[in-house]
Structure 1
Amino acid sequence: MTYRVALVTGAAAGIGAACAKRLAKDGVAVGVLDLDEARCAETVEAIQAAGGKAIALGADVSQRAPVKAAIDKLREAFGPIHILVNNAGVTDFTPFEELTEERWDLIYAVNVRGPFLLTQEVLPDMKAAKWGRVVNISSSSAQTGAINMIPYSSSKGAVVTMTRSMAQEFGPYGITVNNIPPGSVMGTIMSEANRDRFQIPTEVLLQTIPVRRMGEPNDIANACAWLCLDETGYVTGQTIGVNGGRVVT
């Protein structure tokens, strides 16, 4: 095998797109998946223009049938899947007392059931290869909590604990599972929504970040790519905070 194959969800823009491009730079063939397949074109074209391999995929990650169909399409194009980046997610800013069951269920369906379904579907490929990398993108709000974001922060907390349990269960097969909780990353749909909603001046926000700059999607992508190397096979079950020091452990 001359290359490995990755599936990156929520990869039409932001952190997901950056992760897809960074893995492709390392010679990985990438399935670029988002809810709307057409939105993946820009990411795919950027990878191909740089000499990489990529294919656009569309699926609602909370539903098994479309997930399975997308994964089958990726296997047909490039072969078995060795790397999974669970990045797709939805957020919410509703005060707790105003939350509906429907909104709560939607957030958990995408943020928690999504990684469960995707990991379950690609696991046979990784076990057969006796090698695999799963990187779950959680959130710094899972570490700190967040006002008016209880379903989102708690769902991302579930991703953290799911990561730890998966790492223990999959480790004997040569598969590592880690999570990255980003903090204050600009250029994403979520960060723009946060900025517009809370109207926090940038200079005030920077005072909470020791490195005194906002994060960029590539900051997360570089950590993701590192976790997917052969050389990091002894790193598993870990929370790799990429947040400029805003949250320390």
Structure 2
Amino acid sequence: MGVLDGRIALVTGASRGIGAEIARRFAAEGATVIATARTLEPGSSQLAGSLTDTVAAIEAAGGTARAVAADVSRAADRVALAERVTAEHGPVDILVSNAAVTWFTPVADFTAKRVDLMFEVQVKAPMHLAQLVLPGMRERGAGTILNISSRAAIHPQLPPTGRASRGGTVYGMCKAALERFSTGLAAELYADGIAVNALSPNRVVPTPGTVFHHLTTEDAPDAEPPAVMAEAALALCRPPANGSRALTGRIAYSQDLLNELGIAVPSR
């Protein structure tokens, strides 16, 4: 018996990195995971990982998962995704919005097209997907929405240090907007019993994306393993025990959250 037995979990950006790790962790706890991303098959992206890989790993471990290719930058794809999941598996119990597209470019050189795409994927898509799954959650009086954020949402200190001057402003804008959306939606849905949270890693997680952008390396000693984010995501998405209210309205940081809840921080 897993803590997510019988639940339908929709995880975006699940072809690699944090999204794939969350999908695997949720499936290990009994959820039927709908893994979605643009990359369905291996070799169709410049980054390693695919939905086929994620689903194969879940099924090899005895879990249940389905791959549904979708481009969440497109409203029509988002609608089709929600309709397909509901028709084939029933209403979504858990929505994890993790998909991201990012460029690290100074504001002076950022193109309007790239700004629009980043906000579409990392702000508008999580909002739209939430709107699409909310009717089913409200009907059952329960549900969880988790938006994956980043410490980039925190305002930089001046004079700048580290990455603050390297072109992360637009990325930080997206994540700050996502966090404000999360807390606002949590307030709106509090009476409905639907939890909404934002979750960030305490440290940079070595994923194909962060390594590609030279934010970390696969063997960086100070990096945070993807399993830490997955365990923290599970802590925010598991049903509350003993009639208590689910955690909601949190801007949470993975290791801090696990320490607060007395959950061991994974080392892998």
Tell me the TM-score normalized by structure 1.
0.87
Aligned match of 1:181: 200
CA distance, structure 2, for counterparts of residue 34 and residue 51 of structure 1: 22
Is contact 1:35–1:58 with CA below 8 Å preserved after alignment? yes
What are the ranges of 5 or more consecutive residues in structure 2 without an aligned counterpart? 42-49, 157-163, 258-268
Among residues 4, 8, 11, which one is paired with 2:11 in the alignment? 8
Tell me the alpha carbon deviations over residues 121-154 of structure 1, each in whole angstroms, 9 at most, x when there is no partner: 1111111111100110011110144331111111
Deviation at 1:183, TM superposition (A): 4.1
CA distance, structure 2, for counterparts of residue 188 and residue 103 of structure 1: 22
What are the ranges of 5 or more consecutive residues in structure 1 without an aligned counterpart? 207-212
More deviation in 140-149 or 3-12? Answer: 140-149
Q: In structure 1, the residue corresponding to 2:62 is in which secondary structure?
A: coil
Q: Which amino acid aligns with 2:169?
A: I
Q: Which amino acid aligns with 1:6?
A: A
Deviation at 1:111, TM superposition (A): 0.8
Q: In structure 2, the residue corresponding to 1:61 is in which secondary structure?
A: coil
Aligned match of 1:195: 214
Q: In structure 1, the residue corresponding to 2:139 is in which secondary structure?
A: helix
Alignment of 1:1-249 (within 5 A): 3-38=6-41, 39-145=50-156, 146-147=164-165, 148-195=167-214, 202=220, 213-231=222-240, 233-242=245-254
CA distance, structure 1, for counterparts of residue 5 and residue 236 of structure 2: 20
More deviation in 57-66 or 166-175? Answer: 57-66
The runs of at least 4 aligned residues of structure 1 exceeding 4 Å deviation read none
Q: In structure 1, the residue corresponding to 2:73 is in which secondary structure?
A: coil
Q: In structure 1, the residue corresponding to 2:101 is in which secondary structure?
A: coil
More deviation in 63-72 or 104-113? Answer: 63-72
CA distance, structure 1, for counterparts of residue 5 and residue 177 of structure 2: 36
Is contact 1:55–1:74 with CA below 8 Å preserved after alignment? no
Q: Which amino acid aligns with 2:112?
A: E
Is contact 1:88–1:110 with CA below 8 Å preserved after alignment? yes
Is contact 2:146–2:198 with CA below 8 Å preserved after alignment? yes
Deviation at 1:27, TM superposition (A): 0.6
Q: Which amino acid aligns with 1:107?
A: M
CA distance, structure 1, for counterparts of residue 34 and residue 5 of structure 2: 17
Query: 1 or 2, which has the higher helix percentage?
Result: 1
Deviation at 1:95, TM superposition (A): 1.2
Across the aligned residues of Structure 1 and Structure 2, the Cα RMSD in angstroms comes to 2.2
Is contact 2:239–2:246 with CA below 8 Å preserved after alignment? no
Distance 1:61 1:229, change over 3 A: same
CA distance, structure 2, for counterparts of residue 128 and residue 84 of structure 1: 16
More deviation in 53-62 or 235-244? Answer: 235-244
Q: Which amino acid aligns with 1:149?
A: G
Q: Which amino acid aligns with 2:233?
A: C
Tell me the TM-score normalized by structure 2.
0.81
Tell me the alpha carbon deviations over residues 201-222 of structure 1, each in whole angstroms, 9 at most, x when there is no partner: 94xxx6xxxxxx3201110000
Distance 1:235 1:2, change over 3 A: closer
CA distance, structure 1, for counterparts of residue 116 and residue 87 of structure 2: 33
Distance 1:221 1:124, change over 3 A: same
Q: In structure 1, the residue corresponding to 2:252 is in which secondary structure?
A: coil
CA distance, structure 2, for counterparts of residue 28 and residue 178 of structure 1: 19
Identity %: 35
CA distance, structure 2, for counterparts of residue 2 and residue 98 of structure 1: 48
